Amino acid sequence: MAQLPFGPVYHYDSFIMTRAAEEILQACNALPEDKQAELADFARFLLARQDDEAWERRLAGTERLPRLDAFLSESAAEGDEPLDPSRL
């Protein structure tokens, strides 16, 4: 099996877990159920923020995005009319 680029990997049958993932799982198991839910919410928040930051970098880049430019131009030309689902 190929080694993943981010460090030690633990094998549990067909499941692969990094050391960090195992530490998070152990910490989560030690918490009461309501705190486990908070930890899961925080992890989802971090994932969403990571996605947001990636989009911000893409949009702030100097490289032209022709399809996005065309969409923005078309959207601006349409005005403030309600969305017509038949045009989707």
Q: Are 19 and 8 in contact, with CB atoms under 8 Å apart?
A: yes
Only one residue has tokens 């530490």, namely 23
Which comes out higher in pLDDT, residue 5 or 24? 24
Q: What are the two backbone dihedrals, phi and then psi, of residue 16, each rounded to the nearest 5 degrees? A: -110, 130
Write out pLDDT tens, residues 54-68: 888 877 877 777 888
Write out pLDDT tens, residues 5-18: 444 555 555 467 78
pLDDT attached to residue 11: 52
Only one residue has tokens 């549990």, namely 12
pLDDT attached to residue 54: 81
pLDDT attached to residue 12: 52
Report residue 8 CA to chain centroid gap: 23
